[in-house]
Structure 1
Amino acid sequence: MRDQVTDHQKVNILLVDDQPAKLLAYEVILKQLNENLVVATSGREALEYLLRNEVAVILVDVCMPELDGFELAAMIRDHPRFQKTAMIFISAIQVSDIDRLRGYEMGAVDYVPVPVIPEVLRAKIKVFTELYRKTRQLERFNAELEDRVRARTAELEESHARLLESEQRRSLAIAAGRMGSWDWDWANGDWMWDEGQYRIFGVDPKSFAVSPASVQARLHPDDIEELRKAMAQFAKGVTSYEAEFRIIRPDGEIRWCVGTAAATVDKGGRVVRVSGVTIDITERKHAEERQNLLAREVDHRAKNALALAQSIVRLTRGENVKAYVQSVEGRINALARVHTILSLSSWQGAKIGKLVDEELAPYATGGQITLSGPEVQLQPATAQTLALALHELVTNSAKYGALSALSGRLALKWAVDDDLLTLAWQEAGGPLVQEPISKGFGTRSVIASIESQLGGQAEFNWRPEGLICRLSVPLSRHLSEPEHDPHPSAAHG
């Protein structure tokens, strides 16, 4: 039987890598989470640990001798106990597109690019450990609820003396406002509700007259027929039933309930009384919905991040391998930085000031950069696209523009006018600027991402004294996060 996990109990995080130095680095990064970190230097050692222990998250290196990360993931997923265990691959940026897809097919829920960013890795691991902890708690709550329902049903099938005893036990749940009981005289049609039953239905005992018609009026229309059929079964010899149903309170609120009922029969086998228990399970239903939503959200974010990373790798150009690697790493790091900002807000959006600071911070040490503008909350898709655009601009400036010389200056200003965000990028004091004969990849990617992804506009003015770039982005346009190439026209330039 699985061990129950409480709010404060540590969970196991399994770190799998054949290089001790990397394992030590992961332990240092994840130490702040205050969880139980377990290391394994091979896939076989990891499997041996898994067979003896419960694990919340597995962090595994893709490339390992003897048994690589893909093979390990497949073996783990084949075991019934670990079909839902979260697995995160390290070094995903070093493998091919086919291998990435293979990894997701093997059961990976996320990739962490190299070099590892501590804040990003901690944030990802924290999401899955909390999901594991909440899932275990929900399992415990469900088991406890099912035990209570079974116990109540058994009591209702016993004699009238046992029914009186069960009333005392139900009083504890009634006090919490989550359980109620009722009694129906099958012969004369009289109903009896206790205080908990009235509370669940949200009605006043002084004004609400209990009758088949008044009760049906409070039931959800989609559930009435099933409950009517269940009650009709009592006349055919059925002595108990259990069902989930919804009620609509007078204020319009919908509550989920589970109801159990048992019939009392006379010596001739005829039903004389039906008694039942109603339990409000709305919170449990909401918890299940949140868990499913989080699982879908994690899957959605992972696929989007992979799509962006794939397009960056595919479209980046370089004069040589070193230049190519540097360009890819720079763009991936820009994407990782905005991912961290969005994660901290639960992907509700990102403030532009924080976004600009993150992208320009490595170049802002000498007082060459000035920033000004109001605080604006950006949608996730807008934040991702602007982060990559700012990365291209500042990287180009550091190589060839104002930020390549100590005398150079950069001013970045932004403003909002009638839901239109305008960013003005102005360089001065650097090397003499000549308008390029053809647009480079960085320029083309900025134009493509701003115009194609956000429906905005990107203008470049190559003045001799310094570049001026003006980006205009609509804020009121409802955009979904890109699940396709973020630079659709760049590949053809």
Structure 2
Amino acid sequence: MDHEKVNILLVDDQPAKLLAYEVILKELGENLVVAASGREALEFLLKNEVAVILVDVCMPELDGFELAAMIREHPRFQKTAMIFISAIQVSDFDRLRGYEMGAVDYVPVPVVPEVLRAKIRVFAELYRKTRQLERLNSELEDRVRARTAELEQSTARLVESEQRRSMAIAAGKMGSWDWDWVNGDWMWDDGQYKIFGVDAKSFELNSANIQALFHPEDFDGLREAWTEFAKGVKSYEAEFRIIRPDGEVRWCVGTAAATTDRNGRVVRVSGVTVDITDRKRAEERQSLLTREVDHRAKNALALAQSIVRLTRAQNVNAYVQAVEGRITALARVHTVLSLSSWQGAEIRRLVAEEVAPYSEAGQIQYEGAEVQLEPATAQTLALALHELVTNSAKYGSLSALPGRLGITWEVQSDKLILAWVETGGPRVTKPTSKGFGTRSVIASIETQLGGKADFDWRPEGLVCRLTVPLQGKPRTEAIPYRDVNAPGPEPALSSRSA
């Protein structure tokens, strides 16, 4: 073959146009790749090198301008040639927008085959020549490095120092330095100055000023490693912290190597410094996330364990139904918390989720202030609300069509006061003993959150008042078995008679 084939990517949402472009460009002898959408084009680009992209301006989901902007954001495709095809009249403003997005040319519709082939051929050949030039440059650099190694030692040090400087500038977070062991002279490149946060024009480069930039807790270890050079050690690598003049602490990793004379005495030490602060912070965030996930998992498992262990019922089916209902209530609050990335739950959303299965008949009204609850508080309060609404649906106001349920809440002195008021249901009589539901609500609010749960069994309906602290870290361990699981079958929250 006369030349190496290159990839030409054709992007259009209409198959007929893609086929036409393939027929027009087939005689160029290049690899023609078709994509029916911007998404397909991006998927191909991420896995392959492309010389030219021919893209339709008007496409659904992702138009040509948006696709070009996304392509240009990737460092690999910042110089890839893109040609726009527009079936509509393109204004100067549209052309300017296209050029800003990275277009190199426009082709109007109807497409003139000869013109399109000529344009594609030019950019394909330019890409091919550029790649050849890159290979030649790479070969030339290899030859220069090989030749440089043969030069005198003083010239070699200068070339190596320049290479380190270029590498540091290219990396953005690397710097190189050199220290004359005999006379104490220092040399820093721009990258080293940038890492340490000092101005090359005003910072006096001497050992005392450099030492002042190192974290006191890390400098002794570096100094000990430094003295090892005098004992014959040739190199070292260490992580350390620096304190910039503005007070910012940065993490770095440094490598150093010693140069000796014919007698084995150290005459020069050179090294490279890399700023690894971002990596360190990422490691800290990962560690924090791991601990947070572990903490949340333990809390959720503790609540689930309490539900399974403490639920009582007269038969297996009733037990399964009770456990599933409480686990579902816990799942609902987890959904609310996940929407806020576990930053908290808004109480209105929490109440709405818990009463949603019973709200179709229009028997429930709720209102109150905007209150953001801590995750642990939201989980525990959700279980208490679940017990209340389940009891109301079985025996209370929600068990009869005339019944009504009102839920209101307000904040008083850093405490959430929630009132649960039932009316219009079956007549209520005060129970002679606390049932599991009552004990569960009391344990959730008082034992776990340090709050208060008051019950008033009025004849016309139950009134429950929950007081929940909003400050301080609530207790999230499992409810102790002895606190809630008193002997006897599980009665309802309240005893009722017709």
User: Once superposed, what is the RMSD of the aligned Cα atoms?
Assistant: 1.9
Structure 1 residues 259-284: Cα deviation after superposition (integer angstroms, max 9, x where no partner): 01111212222111111110000111
Q: Choose from 258, 270, 288 the match for 2:253.
A: 258
TM-aligned CA deviation for residue 312 of structure 1: 0.7
Which residue matches 2:440?
445
CA contact (8 A) 2:343 2:374 kept: yes
Give the direction of change, closer, same or farther, for the CA distance of 1:191–1:173 in structure 2 (3 Å limit).
closer
Matched residue, 2:352: 357
Spell out the pairing of 1:73-112 with structure 2 (5 A cutoff).
none
Distance 1:270 1:443 in 2: 84
- Partners of 1:170 and 1:295 lie apart in 2 by 39
Give the corresponding residue for 1:108: none
Shift of 1:172: 4.5
Post-superposition Cα deviations, 1:214-258, rounded to whole Å, max 9, x if no partner, equal 122111111111100111111111121111111111222111100
Deviation at 1:159, TM superposition (A): 5.5
- Separation of aligned partners in 2, 1:166 and 1:483: 60
1:165 deviates by 4.4
Cα distance change of structure 1 residues 190 and 166 upon mapping to structure 2, 3 Å threshold: closer
Aligned residue identity for 2:485: A
Code of the aligned partner of 1:378: L
C-alpha deviations, 1:134-187, integer Å up to 9, x for none? xxxxxxxxxxxxxxxxxxxxx9xx955266246336424425531111111111
Alpha-carbon distance in 1 for matches of 2:319, 2:204 = 77
User: Residue deviations 1:437-475, cap 9 Å, x none?
Assistant: 111100111112111111111111111111111101111
* 2:448/2:479 contact within 8 Å kept: no
Aligned with 2:322 (options 324, 327, 331) = 327
Cα distance in structure 2, aligned partners of 1:194 and 1:204: 11
Contact 2:305 2:478 in 1 (8 A): no
Q: What CA distance in whole angstroms lies between the structure 2 residues aligned with 1:223 and 1:405?
A: 73
Give, in whole Å, the separation in 2 of the partners of 1:476 and 1:483. Answer: 18
| Superposition map of 1:337-356 within 5 A | 337-356=332-351
Query: How much has 1:488 moved relative to structure 2?
Result: 5.8
TM-score normalised according to structure 2 size: 0.65
Match in the other structure for 2:467: 472
Change (3 A) 1:487 1:202: farther
CA–CA distance in structure 2, aligned partners of residues 488 and 246 of structure 1:
52
Measure the CA separation in 1 of the matches of 2:367 and 2:158.
73
| Shift in CA distance, 486/449, structure 1 to aligned 2, threshold 3 Å | farther
2:176, 2:482 → 1: CA distance? 63
Deviation at 1:302, TM superposition (A): 2.1
Pick one of 480, 484, 489 that aligns with 2:478: 484
**TM score, norm. by length of structure 1:** 0.65
**What stretches of structure 2 of length at least 5 have no aligned partner?**
1-148, 488-498
Query: For structure 1, which runs of at least 5 residues remain unmatched after alignment?
Result: 1-154
User: What CA deviation, in whole Å up to 9, does each residue of 1:364-394 have, x standing for no partner?
Assistant: 1111111101111111111111000000000
Post-superposition Cα deviations, 1:26-62, rounded to whole Å, max 9, x if no partner, equal xxxxxxxxxxxxxxxxxxxxxxxxxxxxxxxxxxxxx
CA contact (8 A) 1:308 1:486 kept: no
Other-structure match for 1:288: 283
Change (3 A) 1:159 1:370: farther
Q: How many residues end up aligned between the 2 structures?
A: 336
Is the partner of 1:446 in helix, strand or coil? Answer: helix
Superimposed CA distance per residue, residues 286-322 of structure 1 (whole angstroms, 9 cap, x where no aligned partner): 1112222222222222222222111111110112111
Question: What is the alpha-carbon distance in structure 2 between the residues aligned to residue 358 and residue 169 of structure 1?
Answer: 61
Supply the AA of the counterpart residue of 1:264.
T
Q: Which residue of 2 aligns with 1:436?
A: 431
Give me the identity figure in percent. Answer: 73
> For 2:260 and 2:377, how far apart are their aligned partners in 1?
67
- Which amino acid in the other structure matches residue 269 of structure 2? V
- 1:463 match: 458
Partner of residue 249 from structure 1, selected from 244, 249, 257:
244
1:167 paired with 2:170, answer: no
Q: Looking at CA atoms only, which structure, 1 or 2, has the larger radius of gyration? A: 2
Q: Is the 8 A contact 2:448 2:477 kept in 1?
A: no
Tell me how far apart the structure 1 counterparts of residues 348 and 461 of structure 2 sit (CA, whole Å): 24
- Contact 1:368-1:408 within 8 A present in 2 as well: yes
- Whether the aligned pair in 2 keeps the contact of 1:234 and 1:263 (CA below 8 Å) is yes
Over residues 68-93 of structure 1, what are the superposed CA-to-partner deviations in whole Å (9 max), with x where a residue is unaligned? xxxxxxxxxxxxxxxxxxxxxxxxxx
Residues in 2 aligned to 1:486 and 1:367: alpha-carbon distance in whole angstroms = 38
